[in-house]
C-alpha cells in the first residue's frame, strides 16, 4: 500500500515501461502539433473509434468473459476475431491475461496474491503493477489448463509479438493509404486509439475497485459504476461481476449499458455463441438482500449505545425480517430439489415408458409450470422484503 513496501523494490520491467512511453509520448508531442497544422480526415476519427471498440470488445467479450470466465461458448470464427482484435489492444496474450485475471478473482484485494490489488492503491492497480516485475504477477498457468488446450489461444500466444506489430502498424497504415491520410490514421487510429483503450481497460482494475456502489456484496472492493460501464464497454458493473463471475452479463438490467452482453446475445441468435450462463434472479435478489441486512446491522451496531426503546424495536423488526428471509431461502432450496427430481423422473420415464411419453410430458410440463410460478413468487417475496429492509434502514438513521 505504501511506497516503502519491500515489494515496491521489484526490478523495472523495461519492455512494458518502454512500450507505454513509446505509445504515449506522441500524444503529447507530435499529435497536438499535427492537429494544429493539418486537417485530419473524419474517416481517421471514425476508424479510430471503430478500432477502439473492436479492441475493447475483443478484450471484454473474448479475453474476459469467454476465456477467463468461460461464461459462454463461441464459434472458432468468433474466437479468431477476438484473438486478433483483442490481441491488437497490446494487453498481453489471452493465456497470460486470462490466467492472471483468474488469480485476481481468486485472491481479490489480497496485497501479495492479487496481481493488481486495489489495496495497493489506485496507481498500482491501474498501471503500476505492470511497470515492475512484482512477485504477485508471476504465473505458472496451473489455473489455465483449459486454455492451454485451446488451439486459438496457443496460436495467439506463440505469435503474439508478430500479431501486435502486424495489426497495430498494418491496419492504420493500410487504411491511411486507402483514405489518403497516412499520418492522420497512424496518429488517431494507431497511437491515440491504443492508449485510450489501454487506460479505459485499466479503469476496471483501478477505478472500478474504488468508485461506485456495492449492491451485491461488501466483501471485496469491487463497485458498480454507470460512468465506468459506459467507458469500459459494459464492464463497469464490477461489484456484480466479482460475485457472479460466471454470468455472461455484467449489467443485468435492461437499462444497464453493457454492449459486450448485447454482442454475445446477438451472436447467439445466429449460432456464433452458445451456452450463455446466467445467474438465476433469485440468487441475485438473495445477494442484494444479504448486503442490505449487513448494512442494516452495521447501522444498528452504531446505535447500540443509545439503547433506546426505538433501537430495540428496530432490532426486533430486523430479526423478524431475517427469519422471514431464511425461510424464503430454505423454501427456494427445497423447490430446486423438487425441480431436479421432476426433471430426473421425466427423463427416466421417457426412457422406460415410451408409450406414455406424450402424457408424461404433459403432466410434467404442468408440474414445471407450477414450480416456475412458485419460484417466481419467492423471487417477488424477496424483492418486496428488500424494500421493507430498506425502509427499516432509513428508520434506523433517525432512531
Ligand atoms: Zn476486479
Ligand atoms: Zn473478471
- For residue 327, what are the domain limits? 281-398
Question: How many angstroms is it from 156 CA to the middle of ligand 2?
Answer: 21
Q: Do 174 and 37 fall within a single domain? A: yes
Q: 262 and 164: one domain?
A: yes
Residue 3 has pLDDT above 60, yes or no: no
Distance 5 CA to ligand 2 centre (A): 27
More confident of the two residues 299 and 84: 84
* Ligand 1 centre distance from Cα of residue 347 (Å): 41
Residues 341 and 200 in one domain: no
Those residues whose C-beta lies under 8 Å from the C-beta of residue 116, and which sit 6 or more positions away, are 104, 124, 125, 129, 205, 206
pLDDT above 70: residue 387? yes
Query: What separation in Å is there between the alpha carbon of 86 and the centre of ligand 2?
Result: 15
Supply the mean pLDDT for the chain. 90
Which ligand has the nearest atom to the CA of 205?
A: 1
Domain stop point among 274, 299, 315: 274
Q: Which is higher by pLDDT, 335 or 222? A: 222
The share of the chain scoring above pLDDT 70, in percent, equals 93
Distance (Å) from CA 238 to ligand 1 centroid? 6
pLDDT surpassing 90 at residue 126: yes
pLDDT tens across 170-227, in order? 999 999 999 999 999 999 999 999 999 999 999 999 999 999 999 999 999 999 999 9
Q: How far is the CA of 108 from the centre of ligand 1 (A)?
A: 7
Ligand nearest, relative to CA of residue 100? 2
Task: Read off the pLDDT of residues 24-72 as tens digits, 9 standing for 90 and up.
Answer: 999 999 999 999 999 999 999 999 999 999 999 999 999 999 999 999 9
211 and 293 inside one domain: no
Number of domains in the chain: 2
**318-334 residue pLDDT tens:** 888 888 888 888 888 88
Ligand nearest to the CA of 204: 1
Q: Examine residue 22 and state whether it is found in any structural domain, yes or no.
A: yes
CA of 287 to the centre of ligand 2 (A): 18
On whether both 258 and 287 belong to a single domain, the answer is no
Tell me how far the alpha carbon of residue 56 lies from the centroid of ligand 2, in angstroms. 14
Ligand of minimum distance to the alpha carbon of 64: 2
Give the residue among 255, 256, 231, 138 at the shortest CA–CA distance from 241.
256
Q: Give yes or no for residue 5 having a pLDDT over 80.
A: no
Above 80 in pLDDT, residue 113?
A: yes
Q: In Å, how far are 3, 51, 185, 197 from 191, measured between CA atoms?
A: 31, 11, 9, 10
- By residue count, the chain amounts to 399
- Specify whether 199 is located in the same domain as 69: yes
Ligand 2 centroid vs 349 CA: distance in angstroms?
A: 41
- Under 8 Å between Cβ of 86 and 67: no
Give a yes or no: residue 355 inside a domain: yes
Would residue 211 count as lying in a domain? yes
Predicted confidence at residue 187, as pLDDT, reads 97
Ligand nearest to the CA of 69: 2
Are 307 and 254 contained in the same domain?
no
Does 1 have pLDDT greater than 50?
Answer: no
What pLDDT sits at residue 366? 77
pLDDT value at residue 314 = 84
Residue 334 located in a structural domain = yes
**Residue 356 clears pLDDT 80, i.e. is over it:** no
- Res 257 pLDDT > 50: yes
266 and 339 together in one domain: no
Q: Residue 352's pLDDT band (boundaries 50, 70, 90)?
A: low
* Cα 171 to ligand 1 centre (Å): 31
Which of 226, 258, 274 marks a domain boundary?
274
- Are residues 255 and 285 both part of a single domain? no
Residue 1 lies in a domain: no
Query: Pick from 235, 255, 274: which residue ends a domain?
Result: 274
* pLDDT value at residue 2: 42
pLDDT surpassing 70 at residue 286: yes
Grade residue 4 by pLDDT with cuts at 50, 70 and 90.
very low
Same domain for 296 and 263? no
Alpha helices (runs of H) in the chain, residue ranges in sequence order:
14-28, 30-37, 42-57, 76-88, 94-106, 122-123, 129-131, 145-148, 151-158, 160-165, 171-179, 182-185, 193-205, 226-231, 238-243, 259-269, 281-303, 309-352, 357-398
**Is 43 in the same domain as 167?**
yes
- 104 shares its domain with 234: yes
Residues forming a β-bridge with 73: 274
Amino acid at each position: 500500500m505504501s511506497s516503502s513496501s519491500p515489494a515496491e523494490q521489484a526490478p523495472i520491467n523495461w519492455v512494458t515501461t518502454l512500450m507505454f512511453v513509446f505509445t504515449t509520448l506522441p500524444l503529447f508531442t507530435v499529435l497536438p502539433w499535427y492537429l494544429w497544422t493539418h486537417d485530419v480526415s473524419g474517416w481517421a476519427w471514425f476508424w479510430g473509434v471503430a478500432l477502439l471498440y473492436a479492441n475493447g470488445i475483443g478484450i471484454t467479450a473474448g479475453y474476459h468473459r469467454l476465456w477467463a470466465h468461460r461464461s459462454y461458448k463461441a464459434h472458432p470464427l468468433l474466437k479468431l476475431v477476438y484473438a486478433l482484435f483483442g490481441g491488437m489492444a497490446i494487453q498481453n496474450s489471452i493465456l497470460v491475461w486470462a490466467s492472471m485475471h483468474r488469480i485476481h478473482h481468486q485472491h481479490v484485494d489480497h496485497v501479495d496474491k492479487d496481481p493488481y490489488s486495489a489495496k495497493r492503491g489506485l496507481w498500482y492497480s491501474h498501471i503500476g503493477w505492470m511497470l515492475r516485475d512484482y512477485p504477485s504477477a508471476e504465473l505458472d498457468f496451473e489455473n489455465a489448463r483449459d486454455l492451454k488446450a485451446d488451439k486459438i489461444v496457443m496460436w495467439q500466444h506463440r505469435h503474439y509479438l508478430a500479431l501486435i506489430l502486424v495489426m497495430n502498424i498494418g491496419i492504420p497504415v493500410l487504411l491511411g493509404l486507402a483514405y489518403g491520410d497516412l499520418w492522420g490514421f497512424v496518429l488517431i487510429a494507431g497511437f491515440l486509439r491504443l492508449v485510450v483503450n489501454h487506460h479505459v481497460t485499466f479503469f476496471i482494475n483501478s477505478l472500478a475497485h474504488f468508485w461506485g456502489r456495492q449492491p451485491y456484496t461488501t466483501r471485496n472492493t469491487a463497485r458498480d459504476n454507470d460512468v465506468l460501464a459506459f467507458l469500459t464497454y459494459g464492464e463497469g458493473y464490477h461489484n456484480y461481476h466479482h460475485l457472479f463471475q460466471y454470468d455472461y452479463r455484467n449489467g443485468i438490467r435492461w437499462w444497464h449499458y453493457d454492449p459486450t452482453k448485447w454482442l454475445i446475445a446477438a451472436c447467439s441468435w445466429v449460432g456464433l455463441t452458445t451456452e450463455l450462463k446466467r445467474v438465476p434472479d433469485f440468487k441475485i435478489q438473495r445477494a442484494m438482500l444479504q448486503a442490505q441486512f449487513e448494512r442494516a446491522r452495521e447501522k444498528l451496531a452504531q446505535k447500540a449505545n443509545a439503547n433506546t426503546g426505538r433501537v430495540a424495536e428496530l432490532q426486533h423488526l430486523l430479526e423478524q425480517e431475517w427469519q422471514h428471509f431464511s425461510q424464503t431461502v430454505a423454501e427456494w432450496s427445497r423447490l430446486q430439489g423438487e425441480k431436479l427430481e421432476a426433471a430426473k423422473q421425466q427423463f427416466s420415464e421417457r426412457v422406460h415408458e415410451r408409450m406414455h411419453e406424450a402424457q408424461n410430458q404433459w403432466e410434467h410440463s404442468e408440474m414445471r409450470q407450477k414450480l416456475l410460478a412458485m419460484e417466481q413468487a419467492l423471487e417477488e417475496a424477496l424483492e418486496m422484503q428488500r424494500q421493507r429492509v430498506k425502509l427499516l434502514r432509513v428508520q434506523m438513521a433517525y432512531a
